C-alpha cells in the first residue's frame, strides 16, 4: 500500500505546489492559452482541433409498426442501458493497454453496423437484443473520451475542454431530430421502408466514415502517440509529456493487486461517484417532453405532426449548449425547482408554461464535464484509477437512473469532495513548511491555522473517521517523500 500512498501524495505535492506558485493573468480565465508560450499555444490549438435515436424513432411510427405497447419502450431502453453499463469499466481500463485511436473508432464502426441492423427489426424481441449490443458498443465512447482528454490537458484547461466535448451530447440529438423529420417526410415508405427505419440506416451510414477518420486523426495518450508530420511532431509530443509531468499526471503502469485495491481505499470514488449520480438524475424530466407532445394526438385528431414532435423538444438542446457548467449548488436547486413546477403544472391547460419549464430542465447539463474533469484532476497520479473512477461515475449514474430518477441533490457530495481536496492541499502546505525546518521534522501542531482551514480540518477529520469505518486508508503526508519534478513520461 505504500506505493499507493506515494502515488497519491505525489499527486497532491505537484498539483498544489504548482497552484501555489502559478500566477494566472486575468485573460487566462477567459481562455486558458492566452498566457502560455507560443509553442504551447500552437500545440493546444492542434490538440483542440481533433477532439437518442430510439426515442425519435418511437414517436415517428416505430411504436405502431412493431405493435409496441405498455412498457415496451422502457424495456428497449433498459436493454440499451444494460449494455451501456456493463461495458464502461472494462472498456475504460482496456484503453490503458490498447491504443485509444484503435479501440474507440473500432467500437464506433461496430455501433454503426448495429444501428443499421435496427432497421431490420421485425418485432419487439429483435429490438431488445440489438439495442443491448448497441449500448455495449456505445459504452466505449463518452467515458473513454473524458479519460483521453484528461490525459492531455492541465488543470486550468481541462474543465473547458470537458464541457466543450459534452456539447456534442446536445448537438447530436439536435441533428437526430432534424434528420428523423427529414427521413419521415421525404423517405417514409420509399422502397417499402418506414421513416423510422431510414433514420437508423442513415445514422449508421454517416457514422462509418467519421469512425474510419478516427483511426487517422484521433490521438492516443501522450506517452504512446506516434510522432508524425501531419498530426503531432516529436517536439509537440515532448511538450505534451512535459506538461503532464509538471502536474504529475501519470501514464499507465502495471496492474497489481495493491493498485486495484487502491481504487477503493481512498475517498475519491466515494464522493465523486455519488456526486455524478445525483447530478445525472436531476435532468429526468427533460426526456418526457417528446412524449408529452405525442400525447396530444388521438386516433381522430392530430395536434402535432411527427415532424413537430421531433423538432420542438430540440430547444432543450439549444439551452444545454449555451449553459456550460453552472455550479453544483445552482444545479441542485434549479433541478428541484423545475421538477416541482412541472409536477404542479397541468398537462394540457398551461401549455406555454410547461413548454418553457421543459426547456429549462437542461440548464445544469454542463456539470457532467466539470465533474469528470474534477475526477481526472484528483486521481491523476494513478492512470488506471483515473480511468476506473471516470467510468464508474458514468456507469453508476445509469444504474441508478433506472430506479431512482428523482433523487437529485448533489450538493452534499460536491461539498464533501471540495472539503477533502482542501484538506489535502492544507496537508501539503504543512509538509512543505515542515521540510523547510533544520531537522526536516513535521511540526503540524505549531503551524498557524486560518479559521477556515481549521474548520475544514475538523470536518475532514470527522469524514476521514467515517471512511475509516469503510476500510479506506487516510492519505497523510510523509516527510520522507520527495517529488521528482523532472520526471517525464516513459515512451
- What is the secondary structure of 70-122 as a DSSP string? TTHHHHHHHHHHHHHHHHHHHHHHHTTTS-HHHHHHHHHHHHHHHHHHHTT--
Q: With the CA atoms of 432, 420, 388 and 46 taken in that order, what torsion angle do they form, in degrees rounded to the nearest 10?
A: -60
Mean pLDDT of the chain: 74
Range of the domain at 428: 424-469
Predicted local confidence at residue 319, as pLDDT: 82
Distance, CA of 478 to CA of 465 (rounded, Å): 19
Domain co-membership, 261 together with 292: yes
Predicted local confidence at residue 408, as pLDDT: 44
Predicted local confidence at residue 388, as pLDDT: 96
137 by Cβ neighbours in 10 Å (0-12 / 13-18 / 19+) ranks as: buried
Predicted local confidence at residue 281, as pLDDT: 74
The predicted model gives 479-491 an average pLDDT of 38
- Contacts from 123-126 at CB under 8 Å and sequence distance 24+? 123/66, 123/67, 124/66, 124/67, 124/68, 124/72, 124/75, 124/76
Distance, CA of 333 to CA of 117 (rounded, Å): 42
Domain co-membership, 167 together with 57: yes
User: Which tops the pLDDT comparison, 332 or 199?
Assistant: 199
**pLDDT value at 66 more than 80:** no
Distance, CA of 307 to CA of 310 (rounded, Å): 5
**pLDDT value at 489 more than 50:** no
**pLDDT value at 108 more than 80:** yes
pLDDT interval class at 400 (50, 70, 90): confident
Predicted local confidence at residue 28, as pLDDT: 55
Alpha helices, DSSP H only, in 22-71?
A: 38-50, 53-57, 63-65
Distance, CA of 111 to CA of 479 (rounded, Å): 51
Q: Say how many domains are in the chain.
A: 2
User: Which tops the pLDDT comparison, 200 or 490?
Assistant: 200
Domain co-membership, 360 together with 250: yes
CATH of the domain at 237: 1.20.1250.20
| Helix or strand holding residue 17 (H, E) | helix 2-21
The predicted model gives 373-395 an average pLDDT of 93
Q: What digits encode the pLDDT tens for the residues 422-464?
A: 878 788 778 877 776 544 444 343 333 444 454 555 555 555 5
Q: State in Å, rounded, how far the first CA of the chain is from the last one.
A: 26
Cell numbers representing residue 452 in the block? 477556515
**pLDDT value at 241 more than 80:** yes
**pLDDT value at 89 more than 90:** yes
Is residue 482 a part of any domain in this protein? no
**pLDDT value at 247 more than 50:** yes
- Out of 386, 409, 432, a domain closes at 409
The predicted model gives 311-323 an average pLDDT of 81
Is residue 477 a part of any domain in this protein? no
Domain co-membership, 447 together with 357: no
**pLDDT value at 32 more than 70:** no
Q: With the CA atoms of 118, 122, 126 and 127 taken in that order, what torsion angle do they form, in degrees rounded to the nearest 10?
A: 50
Is residue 382 a part of any domain in this protein? yes
Is residue 125 a part of any domain in this protein? yes
User: Which tops the pLDDT comparison, 262 or 6?
Assistant: 262
* Residue 304, C-beta contacts closer than 8 angstroms, at least 6 positions apart: 293, 294, 296, 297, 312
Predicted local confidence at residue 219, as pLDDT: 84
Predicted local confidence at residue 40, as pLDDT: 61
Lowest mean pLDDT among 214-218, 354-358, 424-428, 483-487: 483-487
3-state secondary structure 241-275: HHHHHHCCCCCCCCCCHHHHHHCCCCCHHHHHHHH
Is residue 105 a part of any domain in this protein? yes
- Which of 23-32, 250-259, 311-320 reaches the highest mean pLDDT? 250-259
Domain co-membership, 297 together with 429: no
- Nearest 5 degrees, angle CA 388-CA 389-CA 392? 85
Domain co-membership, 382 together with 460: no
Is residue 57 a part of any domain in this protein? yes
- Nearest 5 degrees, angle CA 343-CA 347-CA 349? 125
**pLDDT value at 480 more than 60:** no
Is residue 373 a part of any domain in this protein? yes
Count CB-CB contacts under 10 A for residue 37: 10
* Nearest alpha-carbon partner for 175 in 146, 206, 145: 206
pTM for the model stands at 0.70
Domain co-membership, 402 together with 453: no
**pLDDT value at 294 more than 70:** yes
Q: What digits encode the pLDDT tens for the residues 152-210?
A: 999 888 888 888 787 766 676 666 667 667 767 777 777 777 777 787 888 788 888 88
* Nearest alpha-carbon partner for 373 in 118, 121, 154: 154
Domain co-membership, 438 together with 362: no
Amino acid at each position: 500500500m505504500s506505493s499507493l500512498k506515494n502515488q497519491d501524495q505525489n499527486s497532491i505535492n505537484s498539483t498544489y505546489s504548482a497552484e501555489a506558485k502559478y500566477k494566472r493573468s486575468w485573460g487566462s480565465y477567459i481562455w486558458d492559452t492566452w498566457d502560455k508560450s507560443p509553442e504551447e499555444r500552437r500545440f493546444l490549438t492542434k490538440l483542440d482541433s481533433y477532439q437518442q435515436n430510439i426515442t425519435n424513432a418511437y414517436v415517428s411510427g416505430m411504436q405502431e409498426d412493431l405493435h409496441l405497447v405498455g412498457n415496451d419502450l422502457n424495456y428497449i431502453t433498459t436493454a440499451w442501458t444494460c449494455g451501456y453499463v456493463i461495458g464502461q469499466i472494462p472498456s475504460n481500463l482496456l484503453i490503458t493497454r490498447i491504443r485509444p485511436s484503435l479501440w474507440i473508432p473500432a467500437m464506433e464502426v461496430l455501433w454503426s453496423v448495429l444501428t443499421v441492423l435496427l432497421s431490420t427489426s421485425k418485432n419487439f424481441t429483435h429490438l431488445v437484443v440489438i439495442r443491448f449490443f448497441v449500448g455495449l458498443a456505445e459504452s466505449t465512447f463518452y467515458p473513454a473520451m473524458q479519460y483521453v482528454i484528461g490525459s492531455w490537458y492541465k488543470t486550468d484547461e481541462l474543465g473547458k475542454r470537458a464541457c466543450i466535448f459534452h456539447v456534442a451530447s446536445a448537438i447530436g440529438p439536435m441533428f437526430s431530430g432534424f434528420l428523423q423529420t427529414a427521413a419521415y417526410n421525404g423517405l417514409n415508405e420509399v422502397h417499402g421502408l418506414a421513416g423510422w427505419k431510414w433514420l437508423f440506416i442513415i445514422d449508421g451510414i454517416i457514422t462509418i466514415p467519421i469512425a474510419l477518420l478516427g483511426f487517422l486523426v484521433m490521438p492516443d495518450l501522450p506517452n504512446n502517440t506516434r510522432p508524425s508530420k501531419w498530426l503531432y511532431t516529436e517536439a509537440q509530443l515532448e511538450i505534451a509529456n512535459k506538461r503532464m509531468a509538471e502536474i504529475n499526471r501519470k501514464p499507465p503502469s502495471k496492474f497489481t493487486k495493491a493498485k486495484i485495491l487502491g481504487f477503493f481505499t481512498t475517498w475519491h470514488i466515494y464522493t465523486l461517484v455519488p456526486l455524478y449520480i445525483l447530478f445525472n438524475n436531476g435532468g429526468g424530466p427533460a426526456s418526457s417532453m417528446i412524449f408529452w407532445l405525442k400525447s396530444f394526438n388521438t386516433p381522430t385528431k392530430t395536434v402535432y405532426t411527427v415532424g413537430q414532435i421531433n423538432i420542438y423538444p430540440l430547444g432543450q438542446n439549444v439551452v444545454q449548449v449555451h449553459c456550460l457548467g453552472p455550479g453544483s449548488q445552482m444545479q441542485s436547486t434549479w433541478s428541484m425547482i423545475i421538477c416541482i413546477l412541472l409536477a404542479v403544472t397541468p398537462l394540457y391547460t398551461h401549455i406555454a408554461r410547461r413548454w418553457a419549464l421543459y426547456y429549462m430542465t437542461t440548464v445544469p447539463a454542463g456539470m457532467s464535464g466539470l465533474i469528470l474533469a474534477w475526477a481526472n484532476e484528483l486521481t491523476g497520479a494513478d492512470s488506471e484509477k483515473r480511468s476506473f473512477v471516470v467510468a464508474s461515475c458514468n456507469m453508476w449514474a445509469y444504474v441508478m437512473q433506472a430506479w431512482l430518477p428523482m433523487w437529485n441533490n448533489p450538493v452534499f457530495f460536491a461539498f464533501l469532495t471540495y472539503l477533502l481536496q482542501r484538506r489535502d492541499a492544507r496537508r501539503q502546505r504543512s509538509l512543505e513548511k515542515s521540510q523547510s525546518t533544520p531537522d526536516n521534522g513535521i511540526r503540524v501542531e505549531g503551524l498557524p491555522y486560518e479559521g477556515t482551514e481549521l474548520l475544514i480540518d475538523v470536518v475532514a477529520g470527522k469524514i476521514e473517521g467515517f471512511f475509516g469505518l469503510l476500510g479506506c486508508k487516510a492519505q497523510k503526508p510523509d516527510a520522507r517523500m520527495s517529488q521528482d519534478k523532472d520526471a517525464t513520461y516513459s515512451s
